Chains A and B, each alone.
Chain A
Amino acid sequence: MSAIADQVALAAGEQQPGRFRILMRTRPEIVLAPALLVVILASWEYGVRWLAVPSYILPPPSSILIALWRGLNEGLFSRGGYWLHAGVTLWEVLIGFFIGSGVGLLLGTIISQFRILEATLRVYIVAIQSLPKIALAPIIVLWFGFGLTSKVVIICLLTFFPLLVTSMAGFKAVDVERLELMRSLGANSWQIFWKVRLPSALPYIFAGLDMAAVFAVVGAVVGEFVGAQRGLGTLILSMNSQMDTAGTFSVFIILALVGVVLHKGLRLVERRLLFWSGDGVRMIGS
């Protein structure tokens, strides 16, 4: 590890310190983070076996992986496999996310351009934002049925507010000096909006989109719990009723993957648009 050790190694005739050693000194997490995962999975596997925990309480990782493998090996349109259900859930998530956050962003933008509108609506927005909207899921399913629509509505409801609130905050936080600069140049409101206000609000908007992506997956699963014929949520319910805990965990892995893919997709766009933002730079580094 230490420099002295390296020098000794060099003196002993080694050409240069090994790749592994350099890696350990500069980016130890690349080695240590996967190592930790292996340790956790191994102790889970052997702990469960050793303590003879029934697999319907806590299955060992190996049987979760087997369940995952089996689910993925089914045909694309098989009701027993994961592909169909994952596709349905992903579809709901994408439609709901784009409509919900799009409308939230649009309204947040419009509201924040007019001071009277913002002052009037602020109380209600804050009040509604603090409500647990997910609790409305049963009513929404009652209204819109077991199909795609009810899930999309639930997701819209959940993703709408993060964007509304963050975009309003973003437009409010625009640096006064930048606005003064634009005014001093004789810019009109339209130019000020496109050249300064919108780009300045983008970091906030992306924070909202990140939040909305998580809520979208939650909304889809809860909607499917309440009432649906397809989707990963229904799959979890039916597996749970059959005490197929390993299966349930394997579906959870699929859901996690959906969340990660959404998050990564957003990051990709964010890096292109927000390369100039300090936050953006930090996130690229991480």
Chain B
Amino acid sequence: MDVAAGGRPTLDHPSAPTGAERASDDIIEISHLEKIFTTVRGERIHALHDISLSVREREFVTIVGPSGCGKSTLLKILAGLLPATAGSVRLAGTKVDRPRKDIGIVFQNPVLLPWRTVLDNVMLPAEVQFLPRAAMLARSRELLKMVGLEEFEDKYPMELSGGMQQRASISRALVHDPNILLMDEPFGALDAMTREQMNLDLQRIWLEAGKTVILITHSIPEAVFLGDRVVVMTPRPGRVLRLVDVAIPRPRPIDLMGEPLFGRLTGEIRRLLYGRGGHDLYLSAGGIA
């Protein structure tokens, strides 16, 4: 795993820029990141250990790992919501030490404010960051159209289904035009069919919007379907076990999930996750895959 954590595979993606000047293309650079929590009782929990990862601009990276491997912790550190214990995270060349305005986050729950209409929810980042209202209203409507909610802008979140709420929250994450989109198990609460549809929609949105995406999931098929690369993590303390390249052209159709190549990749990742640690490895993806 040490080899995998260090070395970066060289593979050209249809969506990614050419690999020539890759160093300057890296929009996210994580190096030797450590996270240790101290509980109220004084216990120390080693959540993340020696995480190093570079992500190219406009790349779609998915992270899979067993429950409690620190995936969400990693994302919160990237978002500047949690401080790292050691190591560093640089986004677009600057060190992350607080929440910043060039990222958008989609949480597992949509976290829409129930007293605001869908449009006003999407406008929230623009309001908080004092962006020009008229221009932002137009952009919000555009984004709602992109996620297929243009007719629901005046509805309240409670009038929307779970999938529609999550679409709205994706629009909200994009409204202030961040370079980077961080997604923490965004479809984990949805039923299987809605989830597949959301995967397709997210791929389309990503191709249209041209953002760099890091998506955390506990579904191996989802990770392979969406990712240019899949980061496979170990149980606690979470480390990068392997980086798996998914050299499948875009846009990927949903039928892809039945193809042999897809099966080979998911099988490989599943073996990686189950192979190490054996029985003590609790894998939530096992139920889905």
Name A residues whose Cβ lies closer than 8 Å to a Cβ of B.
Answer: 175, 177-178, 180-187, 191, 195-196, 199, 275-278
Contacts and interface: CB of A to CB of B under 8 A. Distances in A.
Contact of A186 (B113, B129, B158): B129
A178 B113 CA distance: 8
Interface in B210-249: none
Given A180-B81, A181-B105, A276-B156, A187 B111 contact: no
A182 B112 CA distance: 11
A177 B128 contact: no
22 contacts: A175-B111, A177-B109, A177-B111, A178-B113, A181-B107, A183-B81, A183-B99, A184-B80, A184-B81, A185-B99, A185-B124, A185-B129, A186-B128, A187-B128, A195-B113, A195-B124, A195-B128, A199-B115, A275-B115, A276-B115, A276-B158, A277-B114
B101 interface: yes
Interface centre among B80, B98, B111, B156, by most A CB within 10 Å?
Answer: B111
A177 B127 contact: no
B125 interface: yes
A135 B111 CA distance: 46
B101 A195 contact: no
A284 B138 CA distance: 35
Q: Is the interface of B mostly helix, strand, loop or mixed?
A: loop
Interface in B144-177: 156, 158, 176
Contacts of B109: 177
A182 B101 CA distance: 11
B79 interface: yes
Contacts of A196: 113
Contacts of A191: 127-128
Contacts of A178: 111, 113
Interface of B: 79-81, 98-101, 103, 105, 107, 109, 111, 113-115, 124-125, 127-129, 156, 158, 176
A178 B169 CA distance: 12
Contacts, number: 51
9 shortest A-B CB distances, which residue pairs? A276-B114, A276-B115, A187-B128, A185-B128, A177-B111, A184-B105, A185-B125, A186-B99, A181-B111
A193 to B, nearest CB: 12
A180 to B, nearest CB: 6
A4 to B, nearest CB: 38
A199 B113 contact: yes
B226 to A, nearest CB: 22
A199 B66 CA distance: 37
Contacts of A195: 113, 124, 127-128
A275 B157 CA distance: 12
Nearest to B117: A276
Contacts of A276: 114-115, 156, 158
Contacts of B158: 276, 278
Contact of A182 (B98, B128, B156): B128
Contacts of B79: 184
B99 to A, nearest CB: 5
Given A177-B107, A195-B124, A184 B99 contact: yes
B180 to A, nearest CB: 12
B137 to A, nearest CB: 17
A276 B81 CA distance: 29
Contacts of A187: 128
Contacts of B127: 191, 195
B155 to A, nearest CB: 11
A186 B176 CA distance: 12
Contacts of A180: 81, 107, 111
Contacts of A183: 81, 99
A272 to B, nearest CB: 11
